[in-house]
């Protein structure tokens, strides 16, 4: 059963916004919302949370793959998201630990950007008491493709891939492409649906539509951090007989910011034009900095 995540210091979309501070809608799931909201607030923006997808761990799906026999067959575990690391930790807690004996071949733990901070000593100790058996790999570019390339040639070795099961929207190509990249690099990827990414539902964009229809002030930007968020937003807009073109017409100066090139490409494939792409997408700080820089340029014009 999923445990609700408290989200402190978030302004609901229905609240009145500042006439001076840029108003920024963001659509992240609950487990990321507080962090992005705080970063936007620190830049002097008014963050308005409009979640379009949620994530829920399903650690029971990982448990069979972490038995002594199964995990001993792995050469690597590739975590493409923060949620995948969390689900792994929850699964490990239910099993006798450490999962591996102190002697044996090296196990690679690969993660992206700031997500890798979760792979600390406590996390690794759940896997093996001998930390020399574990190698943490963080690719220079925080994309799934870079993660696959950083693992190098697989030579038929097995890599566990805790990825999301997508419910209510189409699965973006990110995970299938990631698995193809691993396979093309000579790895045997073992896909496990370690958590669910689920559409919030038909009403998730309701407050955005209401704000637009009732002319309740300007919206200066919207931040998307995944392709799933974009599709969830568009799918909800259609429930109210709205589309992206109508949003652009209502707020013609609206800036669309994407957390990295993967999200930007996904958004544009769905017909959402992107104005700001974070060049530093190892953490949300990058997209917030890029958006803030654009705001400053607009003020000077």
- Residue 279 confidence (pLDDT): 85
* 3-state secondary structure at position 113: helix
128 contacts 134 by C-beta, under 8 angstroms? yes
pLDDT in tens, the chain (301 residues): 222 333 334 544 444 344 478 999 999 999 999 999 999 999 999 999 999 999 999 999 999 999 999 999 999 999 999 999 999 999 999 999 999 999 999 999 999 999 999 999 999 999 999 999 999 999 999 999 999 999 999 999 999 999 999 999 999 999 999 999 999 999 999 999 999 999 999 999 999 999 999 877 789 999 999 999 999 999 999 999 999 999 999 999 999 999 999 999 999 999 999 999 988 898 999 999 999 999 988 877 6
Domain 56-198 has CATH 3.40.50.10090: yes
- Residue 301 confidence (pLDDT): 61
Segment holding 164, helix H or strand E: strand 158-167
Domain ranges (residues) in the chain: 23-52+200-299, 56-198
Chain CA centroid to CA 197, Å: 10
Q: How many CA atoms lie within 13 A of 180 on its CB side?
A: 5
What's the length of the chain? 301
Phi-psi region of 121 (alpha: psi -120 to 50; beta: other; left: phi over 0): alpha
Angle at CA of residue 86, ends 70 and 127, nearest 5°: 40
- Residue 243 confidence (pLDDT): 97
Chain CA centroid to CA 17, Å: 27
- Residue 249 confidence (pLDDT): 95
- Residue 165 confidence (pLDDT): 97
Same fold, 23-52+200-299 and 56-198: yes
Q: Which residues contact 62 (CB under 8 A, 6 or more apart)?
A: 87, 88, 91, 162, 192, 194
Q: What is the Cα–Cα distance from 55 to 301, expressed in whole angstroms? A: 40
Segment holding 46, helix H or strand E: strand 46-49
- Residue 1 confidence (pLDDT): 28
40 contacts 26 by C-beta, under 8 angstroms? yes
165 contacts 193 by C-beta, under 8 angstroms? yes
Q: Is the pTM of this model over 0.85?
A: yes
93 contacts 62 by C-beta, under 8 angstroms? no
Domain 23-52+200-299 has CATH 3.30.1330.30: no
């Amino acid at each position: 059963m999923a445990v609700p995540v408290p989200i402190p210091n978030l302004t609901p979309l229905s609240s009145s916004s500042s006439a001076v501070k840029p108003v920024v809608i963001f659509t992240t799931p609950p487990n990321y919302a507080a962090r992005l909201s705080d970063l936007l607030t620190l830049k002097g923006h008014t963050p308005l949370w409009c979640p379009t997808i949620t994530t829920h761990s399903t650690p029971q799906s990982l448990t069979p793959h972490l038995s002594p026999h199964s995990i001993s067959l792995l050469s690597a575990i590739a975590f493409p998201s923060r949620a995948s690391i969390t689900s792994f930790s929850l699964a490990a807690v239910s099993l006798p630990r450490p999962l591996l004996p102190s002697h044996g071949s090296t196990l690679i733990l690969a993660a992206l950007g700031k997500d890798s901070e979760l792979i600390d000593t406590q996390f690794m100790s759940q896997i093996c008491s001998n930390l020399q058996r574990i190698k943490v790999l963080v690719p220079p570019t925080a994309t799934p493709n870079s993660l696959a390339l950083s693992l190098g040639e697989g030579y038929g070795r097995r890599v566990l891939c805790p990825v999301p099961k997508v419910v209510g929207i189409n699965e973006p190509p990110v995970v299938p492409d990631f698995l193809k990249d691993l396979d093309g690099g000579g790895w045997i990827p073992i896909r496990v649906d370690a958590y669910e990414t689920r559409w919030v539902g038909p009403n998730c964009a309701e407050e955005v539509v209401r704000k637009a229809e009732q002319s309740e002030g300007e919206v200066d930007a919207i931040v998307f951090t995944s392709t799933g968020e974009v599709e969830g937003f568009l799918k909800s807009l259609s429930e109210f007989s709205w589309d992206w073109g109508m949003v652009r017409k209502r707020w013609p100066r609206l800036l669309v910011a994407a957390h990295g090139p993967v999200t930007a490409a996904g958004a544009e494939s769905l017909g959402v034009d992107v104005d700001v792409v974070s060049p530093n997408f190892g953490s949300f700080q990058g997209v917030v900095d890029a958006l803030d820089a654009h705001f400053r340029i607009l003020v000077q014009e």
